Amino acid sequence: MVENEQVVKDVHAALEHGAHLDPHAWPVRVEVHGATVTLEGEVGDIVAKRRAVEQVAKVPGVNGVVDRLRLRPVERRSDGEVGAALADLLTGDAELVNVSVRMLEYGKAHVLHDAGPDGAGAIDYEVRDGVVTLTGRVISLSHKRIAGVMAWWVPGSVEVVNGIEVVPAEQDNDDEIVDALRLVLETDPFVPAGQIRVASRNGVVTLDGYVPNAQDRDLAEHDAWYTLGVRGVVNNIKIGV
């Protein structure tokens, strides 16, 4: 018990000083079971969520982190509104034109786009309490990653569980992550993708280049953290022309 209490204290210290989470503004519940720590609560954005997990994983005695942190949405939306907005993104994206899209609601599948028997797979999704769960099968990791990022983009989305299966299975690596993130940045209408360089080493992404303002810089970093497989982000993007 004493050992667990020390781990809890160390975890809270890591959240406050490592992840820079104000414990009063963003109270995170911490549970310790053996060497596994569970984090539960709300955080401001995807950067805070990922960094919280990253910092807690470094705490001595912690061998696993269960991430139940959710984003506090700037705009509260119903599950129906989140689902409808995600439908527009998934069915309107050129990269997913050959992928069928179905929305699951109360156990019933609503076909939003049918790519036919020769398509590149199918994406199913469900929204419950702002949590988007993606399932189905696609033919590439890039398809899986872009669908996951789009789910994060939807206002009102508080968590994304990406359970899409890639068939046949692909070997993931840094090149795959870089290609996917470049695609994400090019797809994001609010980011000047042509001015940003992307590199990755062991899943840690480095962003370089110049963008007009701090908002563009932050959005690019958010896109990197949204991308499945990214373990860390070094944002070296500068503000300029």
pLDDT at 241: 65
Amino acid residing at 237: I
Let me know if 178 is exposed, middle or buried by CB neighbors in 10 A (0-12, 13-18, 19+).
middle
Hey, which CATH number is domain 174-239, 3.40.50.2020, 3.30.1340.30, 3.40.190.80, 3.30.56.10? 3.30.1340.30
Domain 2-71, classified CATH 3.30.500.10, yes or no: no
Q: From first to last of the 241 residues of the chain, give the pLDDT tens digit.
A: 546 888 999 999 999 998 999 999 999 999 999 899 999 999 999 999 999 999 999 999 999 999 999 999 888 899 999 999 999 999 999 989 999 999 998 878 999 999 988 888 999 999 999 999 999 999 999 999 999 999 999 999 999 999 999 999 889 999 999 999 999 999 999 999 999 999 999 999 999 999 999 999 999 999 999 999 999 999 999 998 6
Q: What are the boundaries of each domain within the chain?
A: 2-71, 79-166, 174-239
- Same topology, domains 2-71 and 174-239? Answer is yes
Amino acid residing at 99: V
DSSP H helix total and E strand total for the chain = 6, 13
**By the 8 A CB rule, do 187 and 153 touch?**
no
pLDDT at 3: 61
Instruction: Enter the pTM of the model.
Output: 0.92
**By the 8 A CB rule, do 227 and 180 touch?**
yes
Cα 83 off chain centre by: 17
